[in-house]
Structure 1
């Protein structure tokens, strides 16, 4: 009997799956970024257009990191939607 695609997926090693391969670099970079963020705990002053805000550096770095993740997710989502329209 021929194997179906679900049988093949069950026998594929976990680290050989494409989704896992794409996730490993993200997890490593995220871990390094979070270590860097939380090691910087001094207070700094940040100008947000008009107000001057004093906050811990880890807070500012965490906000910048989160905005970067959102921008990346938005860009990838738009790119994926654009490619799916072309194939129709």
Structure 2
């Protein structure tokens, strides 16, 4: 009597993790990104912004988008340092 071990059909190796193109975390990130972009592009008026010493006038959407991109780059850098 030989015993055959069958491999489970779970591609994660039995860890119980959810992998695939649309995980709940990815959906949440996409929803938050969409809401952020809607917020940014709804605010189209010009505003004065002080950058250390000079004061510039620019569209509010550009300032919000630049701030969001800087935050995303800092977050990606911090996550990369964790690994």
Fold shared per TM-score above 0.5: yes
TM-score (norm 1): 0.70
Give the one of 17, 20, 28 matched to 2:19: 17
What RMSD, in angstroms, separates the aligned Cα atoms of the two structures? 2.1
2:40 equivalent to 1:52: no
Runs of 4+ in 1 over 3 A off after TM superposition: 1-4
1:19-53 Cα distance to aligned partner (Å, 9 max, x none) = 63231111110000000000000000001111111
Listed as ranges, the gaps of 5+ residues in structure 2 are 12-17
Structure with more of its chain in helix, by fraction? 1
Local SS of the residue matching 1:50: coil
Larger Rg: 2
Q: Does residue 73 in structure 1 map to residue 68 in structure 2?
A: no
> 1:78–1:19: structure 2 CA closer, same or farther, 3 Å change rule?
farther
Aligned residues: 72
Question: CA–CA distance in 1 between the matches of 2:21 and 2:73?
Answer: 20
- Where does structure 1 lack aligned partners over 5 or more consecutive residues? 10-15, 81-88
